[in-house]
Every structure is written in C-alpha cells, then in structure tokens.
Amino acid sequence: NKVQIRKAVEDLFKVKVEKVWTANMKGKPRRERLNQLHGRTSRWHKAIVRLAPGDRINVMGG
C-alpha cells in the first residue's frame, strides 16, 4: 500500500517522500502471428512518488 511504498523509498534512497500515487494498470492483449489473440499480459501496479524539494534519486548510480 502507499504507506509501505513511502517507507521503502525513504529507507532505500534516504530521501523524504511528500506524496505517493498508485494505479492499477491493465494487461495488454498478447498477439501471435497473423494477429491471432492468445491471452493477455498480467495486470500490474504502478507507483508515482513525489519527493520533497531538494531531494533527488540518482538512477545512474554515479
């Protein structure tokens, strides 16, 4: 949930989280050749996190 996401980001990256948004994303149709449908990809959850002013997460690790 949002509380767990906030705590995980703050502990892992040592930043202050202001807000957390979550969304349930639908799976997309999975296609084989000749456009025949063969099921769907799995649903997944997306989290968007707003950090406090001045905080940054260095994705490249440098």
Q: What is the dihedral sign for C-alpha 53, 56, 57, 59?
A: positive
For residue 33, tell me if it sits in a domain.
yes
Token duo for residue 45: 């959850």
Q: For residue 59, which of 21, 6, 15 has the smallest C-alpha distance? A: 15
Per-residue pLDDT of the chain (62 residues; tens, 9 = 90+): 999 999 999 999 999 999 999 999 999 888 777 666 678 889 999 999 999 999 999 888 65
Residue 17 lies in a domain: yes
CA distance 20 to 4: 10
Q: What is the pLDDT of residue 30?
A: 80
Give the helix/strand (H/E) hosting 31: strand 29-31
- Where residue 42 sits, what CATH number does that domain have? 3.30.70.330
For residue 62, being part of any structural domain is answered with no
pTM: 0.74
Number of domain units in the chain: 1
Q: Which pLDDT score, from 0 to 100, does residue 61 have?
A: 67
Q: Is residue 47 part of a domain?
A: yes
Q: Does residue 56 sit within a domain? A: no
**Domain limits for position 25:** 2-51
